[in-house]
Amino acid sequence: MVRSCSVRTVANLGIASALTIFLGACGGGMSLPSFSSAPSAPPEPAVAPDMPASIRADEIVGRWGLASYQNPNDRARTEAAARGQCKQPYVITAGTSGGVVMHLADQATPQELRLKGSPSGKNYIGPAGPTPGEQDREIVSFDGRVLVTRFVDKDAAVRYGNMVYIRCAPRA
């Protein structure tokens, strides 16, 4: 038993010594062959340029009645409920950087959001960043008078449902 422990100890010390010598050679005056003539790693792919949305920010600026539904069969009833909300409209204003000022899910303070397009042809409203981002909402439909959106984040989509915005008549 004593003999096997001493053999193991010697072997461990030998391995540690060899590693120390090897690592010392790498960091010391000894140089490894240079492969600088070989091509360097390929550059990281560029971030895809932002795609413009097919809906302009000024098209959704205004006063809106707002309601939501989960079941698609409730859409007509929800649109009627949203019209009734024009007494206390949800106001979408123009942002200073060409976007619109709206609320993100679960945020008390509205902020400027961008209208973003995607290769699939869908439009989104959300903060700068990848499209679709987790904080974005997809524009499900828009005809100038009725805007329907749904949050990309699954949890927010379940809580908020399909948001129906009905354009309120301009003040007289």
**Cα separation, 133 vs 124, whole angstroms:** 9
Domain annotation covers residue 39: no
Residues 81, 162: one domain? Answer: yes
pLDDT (mean) for 35-54: 61
Give the range of the structural domain holding residue 2, as residue numbers without chain letter. 1-31
Domain annotation covers residue 37: no
**Cα separation, 117 vs 9, whole angstroms:** 66
pLDDT at 30 over 80: no
Residues 80, 124: one domain? Answer: yes
pLDDT at 29 over 70: no
**Cα separation, 142 vs 115, whole angstroms:** 13
Question: What is the chain's mean pLDDT, rounded?
Answer: 84
Q: Are 103 and 110 in contact (CB under 8 A)?
A: yes
Residues 61, 141: one domain? Answer: yes
Domain annotation covers residue 109: yes
Residues 63, 135: one domain? Answer: yes
Domain annotation covers residue 144: yes
What integer pLDDT is reported at residue 46 of this predicted model? 43
pLDDT at 21 over 90: no
Number of domains in the chain: 2
Name the maximum alpha-carbon separation found in the chain: 102
Residues 125, 85: one domain? Answer: yes
CA 164 → CA 17, 72, 76, 113, distances in Å?
72, 12, 10, 18
Task: Give me the percent of the chain exceeding a pLDDT of 70.
Answer: 70
Residues 63, 114: one domain? Answer: yes
pLDDT digits 0-9 by tens, 55-66: 999 999 999 999
Residues 23, 81: one domain? Answer: no
**Cα separation, 34 vs 30, whole angstroms:** 12
Domain annotation covers residue 42: no
